[in-house]
Amino acid sequence: MQRPKILVIDDESKIRDFISISLSAEGFEFIGANNAKLGLQQFASEKPNLIVLDLGLPDIDGREVLKKVREVSHIPVLVLTARDQDSEKVRLLGAGANDYLSKPFSIKELIARIKVLLRDIKYEPIAEELYFSDLTIRTSEPCVFIHEHQVHLTKKEHQLLVRLASTPDALVNQKRLLADIWGPSHEQDTHYLRVLVTQLRKKLNDNADDPLYINTEPGVGYRFIASPLKNHTDD
């Protein structure tokens, strides 16, 4: 079995070395980068399973790196930050980070959070577009087409829809969705998810009582019930 690849983008060599030793001991493959430019190159070439991203990089701000990654991928990103303000953490999660750790951090906690983000999730390449009868979902940008009419989504609405639609008819539990979208520290914040699902259904003209797309399994999770078009499944 191939070892999960973890890309660590941090300009501090001692931190990279420390993380490298710990990841190797846990059965992960370590990929290191000391600046944003190299990190983005390795992200494109090495196809890692998860990124550990320091915000204070010497060449490009870590937020810009996160933005560039999110333009093309839903890979889990765990941010390392020297800032410990709640407002900063909220902005990071809103920008697409899955979780964060404030420096200095415990290596045991870092490893634990990496394992949570990777647990039971298969990050396989996602098609550029997903097709369902009258609905087309673009996975690389936050918009969908309903009867060829374009509908714009927020980043989190789009992230939720792609997460569900990429595995049609599979039940995805609430904790998994909360961890994927807001990070493991929000696994109990089910009201976040209810509000987001309500917003998304409204944009899709989807009735919760008689759904076309998103079905609720009360107290458990959500299921995307539309069937993919057969003539696009092999594209």
CB 117 within 8 A of CB 184: yes
Residues 102, 200: one domain? no
Of the three residues 118, 147, 170, the one that is the final residue of a domain is 118
Q: 158-208 pLDDT, tens per residue? A: 989 998 998 888 888 888 888 878 877 787 888 999 999 999 999 999 999
Please state, rounded to an integer, the average pLDDT across all residues of the chain: 86
The domain that contains 46 carries what CATH number? 3.40.50.2300
| Residue 119: exposure state from Cβ atoms within 10 A (0-12, 13-18, ≥19) | exposed
Of the three residues 49, 84, 118, the one that is the final residue of a domain is 118
Quick check: is 68 in a domain? Answer: yes
Residues 134, 218: one domain? yes
Residue 232 has pLDDT above 90, yes or no: no
List Cα–Cα distances, 191 to 116, 117, 175, 188, 194, in angstroms: 21, 21, 12, 9, 5
Please report which confidence band the pLDDT of residue 231 belongs to, taking 50, 70 and 90 as the band edges.
low
User: How far is residue 121's CA from residue 17's CA, in Å, rounded to a whole number?
Assistant: 27
Residues 100, 146: one domain? no
The domain that contains 221 carries what CATH number? 1.10.10.10
Q: What is the pLDDT of residue 161?
A: 94
Q: 103-157 pLDDT, tens per residue? A: 888 999 999 889 878 874 544 446 788 999 899 998 888 889 998 899 999 888 9
Quick check: is 170 in a domain? Answer: yes
Quick check: is 55 in a domain? Answer: yes
Residues 166, 98: one domain? no
Residues 95, 140: one domain? no
Quick check: is 123 in a domain? Answer: no
Residues 141, 211: one domain? yes
Residues 100, 136: one domain? no
Please report which confidence band the pLDDT of residue 101 belongs to, taking 50, 70 and 90 as the band edges.
confident
Residues 39, 97: one domain? yes
pLDDT top residue among 4 and 98: 4
Residues 188, 147: one domain? yes
φ, ψ dihedrals at 228, nearest 5°: -65, 150
Number of domains in the chain: 2
Q: What is the pLDDT of residue 1?
A: 54
- 0.75 cut: is pTM over it? no
The token duo for 54 is: 């320091």
Q: 28-83 pLDDT, tens per residue? A: 999 999 999 999 999 999 999 999 999 889 999 888 999 899 888 878 899 998 76
Residues 111, 44: one domain? yes
> Could you tell me the residue range of the domain that residue 155 belongs to?
129-232
Q: What is the pLDDT of residue 151?
A: 93
Residues 146, 45: one domain? no
Of the three residues 89, 118, 147, the one that is the final residue of a domain is 118
Residues 22, 102: one domain? yes
